[in-house]
Amino acid sequence: MFERFSEGLAALTREHRRRHRRIVQSSQQPHLTVDGVAKLSFCSNDYLGLAAHPALAAAACEALSASGLGTGASHLVSGHHLWHERLEEALASWLGRPCLTFATGYTASVGIIPALVDRADAIFMDKLNHASLNDGCLLSRASTHRFRHNDTEHLRQLLEKSDARQKLIVVDGIFSMDGDMTPLPAILALAEAFDAWIYLDDAHGIGVLGEQGRGTASHFGLHNHPRLIQLVTFGKAAGSQGAAVCAEPVVIDWLMHHARSHIFTTAAPALLAASLCASIDIMQQADDRRAHLQALIARWQEGSRGLPWAALPSQTPIQGLVIGSNEDTLALANALWQDGIWVPAIRPPTVPEGTARLRISLSASHTLADVDELLVSLTRIAQSHPTQASMA
């Protein structure tokens, strides 16, 4: 085993795929301290700038002193605290349907999908779906059909061929590495035509898109369609930790009795639920933050046109700059780092071979000047490393 692992790790090094964790020594915000130095960061999914918000920390501290840290058991035994109940109420009043909470988005999907479908059923999933969805589908043992990214004609063909008992379409609302949205109106029309259901992973859409930040479906005017099962996560725009699924009452009731990652795990500390209640209050009223985020996105989209690399046409806080090879992408990320800017190099297997990229994540706590600083630095690097730029 040791030999196989050592060889595998050596291969990662050769392929420039070895990962390295940097150590953040301040709170999560654009100007932070990492590995002992000050950097301007475009790495965080803290889209609304709430991760370091004092109201979230205050709510957490208050709940911690009043309720202690441990919850002692799972929700169904004795771990369901008043703060968890308040959180589910706040979510239901914001999102308009009952909700069930989970410790993280990853554990939510690996518990929910197998509870929704089993081996008699079929799953139809976008090829660029998040890893947690792939894993949830595998665990469900339903037959799985992958359709080309955002290709609804391909999806239609697969649905047409299926005679499964129940059909579940599984998609991201906003795709993690490209920043584009799922074509939800067309997918919902197919779900109605073929009597299918939709599991929408809205990890990146919640708080960012739609009326009061209700997410991708709201953006398309389809909020709370009965065929939609919406997963929202709280590690990104909500600035905290956790996840919830929002669906018709019978679905939520079923999931409470069948989603194994809800049942067989200790409830999260009440302080997280308390911080989320504060976060939901802010997210609902954060139109100013969402408008500023759109201004930052427009600034990057406009400014990146002059660069010798391909900026993906995204209208969301996830902005990709496709470089191509792993080596060039790492070199560019290192050059930015030398310039005081932290941007992650995203490489296979996270993205397809040959499409390694910088992923620029924008947050409402960035300023327009921060985006300009990134653009100026990239322009300077492109000019001083012509071979790198010509790779694009």
Per CB under 6 A, residues contacting ligand PLP are 104-106, 130, 132, 172, 176, 201, 203-204, 233, 235, 243
> Per DSSP, what are the bridge partners of residue 147?
126
Task: Give the separation between CA 60 and CA 64, rounded to whole angstroms.
Answer: 6
The residue whose Cβ lies closest to ligand PLP is 105
Cβ 181 to ligand PLP, closest distance in Å?
A: 12
SS3 233: strand
Tell me how far apart the alpha carbons of residues 35 and 282 are, in angstroms, rounded to a whole number.
Answer: 31
Pick 145 or 359: Cβ nearer ligand PLP: 359
243/271 with CB nearer ligand PLP: 243
- Nearer CB in complex with ligand PLP: 28/132: 132
**Under a CB-based contact definition with an 8 Å cutoff, are residues 67 and 290 in contact?**
no
Residue 183, Cβ density class (10 Å: 0-12 exposed, 13-18 middle, ≥19 buried):
middle
The CA distances from residue 72 to 69, 263, 266, 270, 273, in Å, are 9, 14, 7, 11, 15
Task: Give the shortest CB-174-to-ligand PLP separation in angstroms.
Answer: 8
Nearer to ligand PLP, 201 or 370 (CB): 201
Nearer to ligand PLP, 126 or 328 (CB): 126
What is the DSSP secondary-structure string of 147-185? E-TT-HHHHHHHHHH---SSEEEEEESB-TTT-PBP-HH
Least separation in angstroms between residue 233's CB and ligand PLP is 4
Give the nearer residue to ligand PLP in terms of CB position, either 244 or 378: 244
Query: What contacts 201, CB < 8 A, 6 or more positions away?
Result: 105, 109, 129, 130, 132, 133, 170, 171, 172, 173, 231
Q: How far is the CB of 361 from ligand PLP (least distance, A)?
A: 11
Which is nearer to ligand PLP, 49 or 303 (by Cβ)?
A: 49
Q: Give the separation between CA 341 and CA 373, rounded to whole angstroms.
A: 9
In angstroms, give the least distance from the CB of 311 to ligand PLP.
20
Residue 156 Cβ, how far from ligand PLP at the closest point, in Å?
A: 24
- Closest separation in Å from C-beta 340 to ligand PLP: 27
Closest distance of CB 193 from ligand PLP, Å: 26
Q: How many CB atoms lie within 10 A of CB 4?
A: 8
| Residue 82 near residue 62, CB atoms below 8 Å | no
Which amino acid is residue 44, in one-letter code? S
In the complex with ligand PLP, the residue whose CB is nearer, 184 or 378, is 184
C-beta of 164 vs 360, nearer to ligand PLP? 360
Name beta bridge partners: 324.
356
d(CA 125, CA 133): 9
Kind and range of the H or E run holding 60: helix 54-67
d(CA 233, CA 336): 30
The minimum distance between CB 255 and ligand PLP, in angstroms, equals 17
Helices 249-258, 105-116: axis angle to 10 degrees equals 100
